[in-house]
Amino acid sequence: MTLRTLRTTLVLATLGAAGAIQAAEEATPQLGGTVNISTMYRTLDATTWDLQNWTWKGNHDNLQLESLLRGDLQYGPRGKNENSFVEQAYIPYNQLEGSLAESWEVKEDPMRVIFHLRKGVQWQEVPGVMKKRELVANDVITSFQSRGESPRAIPTFWDFIERWEAPDDHTVIAYFNQFHGNWPYRIAWGYYDGISPPEWQNLSEDKRADWRNAAGTGPYRIEKIETGRQQVYAKNDGYWDSVTLNGKEYPLPLNDKVIYHIIKDEASAVAALSSGRIDIMEAIRWQLVDQLKKTAPELQFRKNLSTNGTYIALRTDQKPFNDVRVRRALNIAVDQKAILSSLLNGEGELLNYPFAQRWTEFYTPLDQLSDEARELFEYNPEKAKKLLAEAGYPKGFSFDLQVCSCSPYHMDVAPMLQAYYQQVGVKVNIKTMEYGAFRSNMRGKTQAGGYLMNNGSGNPIQVLRKSFRTDQTWNASWYSNEEFDRKIDAAIKEPDTEKRNAMLKELNDFIIDEAVPHVWLPTEMGYSAWWPWVKNYYGEQRIGAVKPNAIYSRIWIDQKMKESMGKAR
């Protein structure tokens, strides 16, 4: 691809003014500086620093952490523009590149994946934990084995791995006991495969939970954590990766620091962006975009349908939600089109979960679903009352709905849901919770009958397994169906891609149409914005499961431009 073609592609990607993009391409990087970010999780502190707890947010907070593979950014808006790199956990296989593994091979008889590790990759020195030394194959194996032994491990997650072997210091082999259609996500670029050294794994639980002991090979190290305020990451000198810009190779990271600003108040976050205190804001609701365009017209914006599905998970293991008629009634008692048009100003989609609309080879549009499925998205309170009466609740019932204060959308939609349900005789008791308590309640003894949640769609296998397979960690509806379990397991083991995709598509339609474990709610549109002094950045957010470090490490800040625009350093 020529430079001229590349620029044309970027303009078509609507990433901002052509002049700004051209400047980013041609300017000589100014090394150093600090990148200030209001991330997509700006209201949340790190959930834990102990990666043995299988936290979904670990990759996001541990910028020192790397996996074997990652997404190749040249397939994104800076290159071929085939992938926006905003998905939480979906990277097509042909868009992967090596990270800690320089290359890999998939072999049969026996089924195995051979990872060839990069030579010379160094673990960061962490006082009191480990000296700086080279990453070797046994480090990778012990990282997987140690995490797999954790009591917090997700059931069945690595059951397809028969054994690991290290024939030499730079070769790791994962032997499978059977084919697994989602192996790259499970062991190479997903949520739980960041490689940690044995020195860290051998620490006590209390010491692993201390961010000062965090160890890794990545472009940053954790410098300072101020709970409720900021997370500061400093450059890892001697990091192995580099980037070529305008024909010249530069060691990464291009900046000296990345700072996550924890800002729980939405207005304060927007003010920080407008003033230039924040360089990038990764999550902006539609209500604030016009205001920002007026107060800070130089900002560059990007618009994407959220990668989260929004729904009420209903406790299908308990009355009254163990009756599918009740679950169907609660769907049609809600005017979802009105929520989309009024609360979201039309900025969203009615159906974007379990499968995301971006997955065109898997997604079934609403108008192509069965009559029974389409009915769930039509407002029909009279039929809702009839279904409730048939199920034995002619006078309705009451239930608790747990809601996270961390989500402005949830806080806005909860009273609307309460009003809709009141019209069909169902009383909703809204229980607002901070994120820590909200998350710990899921799948716990105190989880309420209704649980209003955002859940990342992830990837086609992951979203069906985690949300609907019996006893899975993120199955907040407690849905259990032996036939579904058997079919999802069969799809995962199916080596033929075309057959596997068809099986997954059928299961997705079944969940929407027949199982109905959730009250489906519209998915909101989201915006991100950044100042034109943020260079070599095109709105990407993840190169793995909520994994941004390779993106941030390529950013440089044009301090002269920032100063010329009247913004403080």
In the block, residue with structure tokens 């009355």: 319
Domain boundaries, the chain: 3-283+531-564, 308-524
Ordered DSSP codes for 160-207:
TEEEEEEEETTEEEEEESS--TTHHIIIIISSS-----HHHHTS-HHH
Gap between the Cα atoms of 163 and 522, Å rounded: 43
Helix, strand or coil for residue 148? helix
Closest CA relative to residue 328, chosen from 374, 367, 365: 374
Q: pLDDT in tens for each of the 569 residues of the chain?
A: 333 333 333 333 333 333 334 334 457 999 999 999 999 999 999 999 999 999 999 999 999 999 999 999 999 999 999 999 999 999 999 999 999 999 999 999 999 999 999 999 999 999 999 999 999 999 999 999 999 999 999 988 999 999 999 999 999 999 999 999 999 999 999 999 999 999 999 999 999 999 999 999 999 999 999 999 999 999 999 999 999 999 999 999 999 999 999 999 999 999 999 999 999 999 999 999 999 999 999 999 999 999 999 999 999 999 999 999 999 999 999 999 999 999 999 999 999 999 999 998 899 999 999 999 999 999 999 999 999 999 999 999 999 999 999 999 999 999 999 999 999 999 999 999 999 999 999 999 999 999 999 998 899 999 999 999 999 999 999 999 999 999 999 999 999 999 999 999 999 999 999 999 999 999 999 999 999 999 999 999 999 999 999 999 999 999 999 999 998 65
Query: Where are the alpha helices (H) located in 118-162, listed in sequence order?
Result: 137-148
Give the whole-angstrom CA distance, residue 392 versus residue 375: 21
Residue 245 confidence (pLDDT): 95
Best CA proximity match to 173, nearest among 189, 186, 182, 161 = 161
C-alpha to C-alpha distance for 357 and 173, rounded to whole angstroms: 35
Give the model's pLDDT for residue 27.
74
User: In which element (H, E) is residue 372 found?
Assistant: helix 371-375
Please list, in sequence order, all residues whose beta carbon lies within 8 angstroms of the beta carbon of residue 360, skipping any fewer than 6 positions away: none
In this predicted model, what pLDDT tens digit does every residue of 514-539 receive, in sequence order? 999 999 999 999 999 999 999 999 99
pLDDT score for 567: 85
What would the two tokens of residue 434 be? 């901070």
CA distances from 83 to 218, 347, 355 (A): 23, 21, 17
* pLDDT for the residue 24: 41
Taken in order 41, 44, 47, 49, the sign of the CA dihedral is positive
Positive/negative CA dihedral, 15, 542, 269, 272: negative
H helical segments located in 391-535:
408-422, 435-441, 460-468, 482-493, 497-510
**Burial of 533 (C-beta count, 10 Å sphere; 0-12/13-18/19+):** buried
DSSP class per residue in 479-511: ---HHHHHHHHHHHH---HHHHHHHHHHHHHHI
CB 43 within 8 A of CB 435: yes
Instruction: Report the first-to-last Cα separation within the chain, whole angstroms.
Output: 36
With CA atoms as reference, report the closest residue to 184 among 84, 71, 15, 262: 71
Domain with residues 3-283+531-564, CATH architecture = 3-Layer(aba) Sandwich (3.40)
Residue type, 267: A
How many CA atoms within 13 Å lie on the side-chain side of 386? 5
User: 319-347: buried (b, 16+ CB within 10 Å) or exposed (e) per residue?
Assistant: ebbebebbbbbbbbbbbbeebbeebbeeb
**Count of beta carbons in the 10 Å neighbourhood of residue 171:** 15
Do 443 and 473 meet the contact criterion of CB atoms below 8 Å apart? yes
Token pair for residue 229?
């305020």
Burial code (b: 16+ CB inside 10 Å, e: under 16) for 480-515 equals bbeebbebbeebbebeeeeebbebbbebbbbbbbeb
pLDDT for res 569:
55
CATH topology of domain 308-524: Dipeptide-binding Protein; domain 3 (3.10.105)
Q: Is 5 exposed, middle or buried (0-12, 13-18, 19+ CB in 10 A)?
A: exposed
